[in-house]
Structure 1
């Protein structure tokens, strides 16, 4: 079978939506477009049909993420996933590579040197209409406010502390796509931030970066009270946060491994990543 592996381009995106729908993923064309703008990828094409994809996003020299590795259900067990991965890995120069694996792909990623390091809890659900204007949990904080342009440097610093690598281009793009809330302490310092944007069936809240657990909950709750009647998704590495979300109706529906190849990136401050930007972007 002759399959061409080409750079993923905008001309492939209509078929990419069909491909992601075929495996049960909610990505719209605009979601694919946003991800392609931030990164680059590979397209496996057979007789004009897109049958495989994969993408990567590099953040400075230290960190890259892999995602949207998809093989058409009609073309499985033919080595396409491995070919996509090998092509992506050849293009990455970062010292650490992260991905979030489906159970079907985990064995392939292990064979390429990736190791499980944590579990990602996918939490999602419809926000009750009664959430409007009231707290879902008694953590309401008067310091939660909208993001200002003057907050940008602090946001990037918090994010770098949490991830071990700068991700300025990612944060700038997410702020263009959506909106952010921050948590300001009495002394004027920011102790957390959460970005929300439209995605798939509704909205995704992430990344959520905060100095401590209750700060993350305050920010998430603030977003939920602003989204009554909406479908919301969060992907978190924190099991306690996932349990709290399930308790307020944003239930855990899946759990997948975070897998990593390369070096460990040291955290250089108290900030922690409580929710991912997405499973693709980390």
Structure 2
């Protein structure tokens, strides 16, 4: 079968939406376009039809993520997923590559040298109308919850780098421009957590959420939910306790997938952790 593997471009995006819908993913054209603006991809094309995709996003020289590896259901078991992955990996120079695997793709990724390092709990559902009047849980001591200000920009970038181990300035700049953010400010003016919420797919995504502890992450998440009562919300969390709390308020865990990594570890400093992903593609 003669399939051309080309750079993924904006001209492919209408078909990309059809392809992602065919496998049950909620990406709209604007979601694809935002992701393409931040990264690069490959398009598998057969007789003018987009039949496979994959993308990567590189953050400095230390970290890259892989995602949107999709093969049309009509073209399964023909090695297209492996070809897409090999093409993407040839283009990546980062010393660490992360992806979040569907169960169907995990064996392929293992064969290419990726190993499971954690589990991601995909939680989603409709936020009840009653959340509009919900009283937030107590904040950590000596902490103020407030909206993001432009003057917080460098501090939020630093929190994310502390949580990830690599700077992701272009990603955070894009997410902050797209959506809205909340921060936790301590008495000394330092930030101890941040969460970004933006429109995506069927509703909104909360993420990334980075904080210096579970209670802080829960407060940020809860405040985002209150702001989006009577909306469909999704959050991909690495924290089982946060997933259990979300499930208890109706934001159910609908899937659990492995985080997989190839390459070296990233240095982390300080207490800040990543409690929710920007997305399964972006990490």
Normalising by structure 1, report the TM-score: 0.98
The C-alpha deviation readout for 1:206-251, integer Å capped at 9, x for no partner, is 0001011111111111111111100000001111111111111111
Partner residue, 1:216:
217
Secondary structure of the residue aligned to 1:161 is helix
Preserved contact between residue 195 and residue 208 of structure 1 (Cα < 8 Å):
yes
- Which residue of the partner structure matches residue 118 of structure 1? 118
Deviation at 1:262, TM superposition (A): 0.1
Mapped to 2, the partners of 1:95 and 1:202 lie a distance apart of: 34
User: 2:62 maps to what in 1?
Assistant: 62
Contact 1:5/1:42 (<8 A) preserved: yes
Decide which moves more: 92-101 or 266-275.
266-275
CA contact (8 A) 2:235 2:276 kept: yes
Q: Is the 8 A contact 1:139 1:217 kept in 2?
A: no
- Structure 1 segments, 4+ long, off by >2 Å, are 137-142
**2-structure distance, mates of 1:134, 1:187:** 28
Once residues 10 and 194 of structure 1 are traced to their aligned partners in structure 2, the CA distance between those partners, rounded to angstroms, is 29
**Secondary structure of the corresponding residue to residue 133 of structure 2:** coil
Alignment partner, residue 177 of structure 1 = 178
Measured after TM superposition, the shift of residue 140 of structure 1 is 5.1
Q: Does 1:138 align with 2:130?
A: no
1:106 equivalenced with 2:109 (yes/no) = no
CA contact under 8 A between 2:206 and 2:221: conserved in structure 1?
A: yes
CA contact (8 A) 2:45 2:51 kept: yes
Task: Say how many residue pairs are matched.
Answer: 281
1:1-282 to structure 2, matched below 5 A, reads 1-135=1-135, 138-139=137-138, 143-282=144-283
C-alpha distance in 2, partners of 1:22/1:73?
A: 7
Q: Using the alignment, how far apart are the partners of 1:266 and 1:171 within structure 2?
A: 19
Per-residue displacement from partner, 1:104-143 (whole Å, max 9, x unpaired)? 00000000000011100000010000110322x5335771
Q: CA RMSD in A?
A: 1.0
Shift of 1:269: 1.2
Once the two structures are TM-superposed, the CA of residue 189 in structure 1 deviates from its matched residue by 1.5
Return the alpha-carbon distance in structure 1 between the equivalents of residues 244 and 229 of structure 2. Answer: 21
Secondary structure in structure 2 of the residue aligned to 1:98: strand
CA distance in 1 between counterparts of 2:97 and 2:188 reads 37
Does structure 2 conserve the Cα–Cα contact (< 8 Å) formed by 1:116 and 1:258?
yes
TM-score w.r.t. the length of structure 2 is 0.98
